[in-house]
Amino acid sequence: MSDTPELTGVTPHLTIRDNKAKDAIAFYEKAFGAQELFRHPADDGVRLMHARLAIAGGGLMLHDDFPEMMGGKPSGPPACVVLHIEVPDADAAWEQAVAAGATVRFPLDNQFWGQRYGQLADPFGHVWSIGGPLKP
């Protein structure tokens, strides 16, 4: 697509279990203001082989799990990864994500390192952090 920004650097690519990649896209649109840039369905007509989103100026790719392509084993749960979104108003972004169904892992607050920061979990097991300027 000519209006799709080029991928640069490291781009997260999430595997979504239980054929819920379409649900994940809808959640990311509602929770984080994501814009869907591309979607490629799998031949089975149910799962997504690939999707690409833009969130807060960055890129995110995702797809449904395909255990049959990985020796019959489903992908493991997300571990040790936090997807960070830097925004001008962390409180507004936080409220939007929580209203969409994200659950709080680490409450949003002014942190000692000079940022307003907190962590949320999405309904698909992925952890997101939201950061922005300190709130007076």
CA atoms lying within 13 Å on the CB side of residue 4:
16
Could you give phi then psi for residue 30, rounded to 5 degrees?
A: -75, -45
For residue 5, give the nearest of 82, 42, 50, 60 by alpha carbon: 60
**Total domains in the fold of the chain:** 2
Tokens encoding 16: 């979504």
Whether residue 14 is predicted with pLDDT greater than 60 in this model: the reply is: yes
Whether residue 132 is predicted with pLDDT greater than 50 in this model: the reply is: yes
Identify whether residues 62 and 90 lie together within a single domain.
no
> Residue 81 has what DSSP assignment?
-
Instruction: Return the SS3 of 133.
Output: coil
The CATH number of the domain where 128 resides is what?
3.10.180.10
Identify whether residues 38 and 63 lie together within a single domain.
yes
User: 46-58 burial by CB neighbour count: b if 16+ within 10 A, else e?
Assistant: ebbeebbbebeeb
Identify whether residues 86 and 42 lie together within a single domain.
no
pLDDT of 51 reads 96
State the pLDDT confidence band at 109, using cuts at 50, 70 and 90. very high
pLDDT of 117 reads 96
Note the pLDDT tens digit of each residue in 81-96: 889 999 999 999 999 9
pLDDT of 102 reads 97
What residue numbers bound the domain in which 48 lies?
13-69
State the pLDDT confidence band at 4, using cuts at 50, 70 and 90. low
Whether residue 10 is predicted with pLDDT greater than 80 in this model: the reply is: no
- Those residues whose C-beta lies under 8 Å from the C-beta of residue 58, and which sit 6 or more positions away, are 11, 85
Mean pLDDT of the chain: 90
- Whether 118 is in a domain gets the answer yes
Identify whether residues 64 and 17 lie together within a single domain.
yes
Last residue of a domain, one of 69, 96, 114: 69
- Whether 5 is in a domain gets the answer no
What average pLDDT score do residues 36-53 get?
95
What average pLDDT score do residues 58-63 get?
94
Tokens encoding 47: 């799962």
How long is the chain?
136
Identify whether residues 57 and 25 lie together within a single domain.
yes
23 alpha-carbon distance from chain centroid: 12
Identify whether residues 58 and 91 lie together within a single domain.
no
- Whether 21 is in a domain gets the answer yes
